[in-house]
Chains A and B, each alone.
Chain A
Amino acid sequence: MSQTAVQEQDSRFLQHHFTEMEQQVDASKIGMWLFLVTEILLFGGLFVGFALMQARHHEAFIAAHHHLDRGLGVLNTVVLLISSWTMVMAVHSSQKGDRRKLILFLALTLVCAGIFLGVKYFEYSHKFHEGLLPGKYYSHKGDAVPGQFMFFSFYFMMTGLHGLHIVAGMIAIAWLLVRAVRGDFSAAYNTPVDITGLYWHLVDLIWIYLFPLLYLIG
């Protein structure tokens, strides 16, 4: 792309309160990172609660985590890791101005997110069926160790909040896909792809910790 064409692409999306594109990109990124920090602290509350309760009632937590299907946990971890890779490839393609690959990788990311939620739905309906529910709704019979409802309170709150983040991410990626098809993104302007990527990787990052805590350690 010639220099003038790049600058034209630039100015189309340059907001009036920024002097140049670089400043706008930096500000957007800093804003996204600040938001991600608030997300870390949001999930942090649940992680800290989990750590404290697990230490106090670890027999109940270990007994309860055996109800989870480790195979499905691994499957979802792999799917989410692959989706993170397709997302970073989407960002990479957009930075190179490769519109076709950008569309392809965004679509693949959406597919992975859909598989993740599908597996999660399967897991949840199994738990509902068995009465493995949070707090007072817990109705599973024949437990050798009491207090397993505590684990499921954390399980549903943590994976539920994470699942909502997946849904939000899918909406954002669908919006990127529309804009990519429309031809908004180029080597000169791709900030929305970049910062949605950051968000998506954070959702992946949180799952990287959720998976061993819930499925492996208990």
Chain B
Amino acid sequence: MSAHAQAHAHGKHPTAKTFLMVLIALLVLTAVTVAAAGIHFGSPAVNAVIALLIASVKGSLVALFFMHLRYDKPVNAVIFCSGLLFLALFLIFCYIDVGSREVTVPANLKVPAPAAPAKQ
């Protein structure tokens, strides 16, 4: 028996049923996120956080089961997570950078009244 076949025999193998359960979970979470968007949780920021948390749960299900990270050799998960880490760094440093500057307005943003967008 080859080493490959042995590795497979050891690892827990996902079944068709597992994948169907994951699909149902993903569809339910989609319904939940749409329902949650209809409720006002105080501020739009809270709604955004809830929507992104649900998206992250869905994303994790896809990565762990559909992309087999749960069953695979850990090196693939390490590569994937390093990508997410660099994305987080990208986002954080951009926020710090933009936050330290004066408010810029796109050149072609024609503001009829000075009120609307600059409030932020």
User: A residues bordering B, Cβ < 8 Å?
Assistant: 20-22, 25-26, 29-30, 33-34, 36-37, 40-41, 44-45, 47-48, 51-52, 55-60, 62, 70, 74, 77-78, 81-82, 84-85, 87-89, 92, 135-136, 145-147, 149-150, 197-198, 201-202, 204-205, 208-209, 211-213, 216-217
Contacts and interface: CB of A to CB of B under 8 A. Distances in A.
B87 interface: yes
B10 interface: no
Given A40-B87, A44-B87, A85-B19, A52 B94 contact: yes
Given A92-B16, A202-B67, 13 more contacts: A26-B73, A29-B76, A36-B83, A41-B83, A57-B117, A58-B120, A78-B27, A201-B66, A204-B62, A205-B62, A208-B58, A212-B51, A217-B44
Contacts of B62: 84, 201, 204-205, 208
Interface residues of B, number: 57
Given A52-B98, A74-B30, A89-B16, A81 B23 contact: yes
B87 A198 contact: no
A209 B48 CA distance: 11
A208 B55 contact: yes
A41 B51 CA distance: 21
Contacts of B119: 59
Contacts of B79: 30, 33-34, 37
Contacts of A92: 14, 16, 19
Contacts of A20: 2-4
B11 interface: no
A8 B55 CA distance: 44
Closest 10 CB pairs of A and B: A37-B83, A22-B4, A212-B51, A216-B37, A85-B23, A33-B79, A44-B87, A88-B66, A40-B83, A201-B66
A71 B99 CA distance: 35
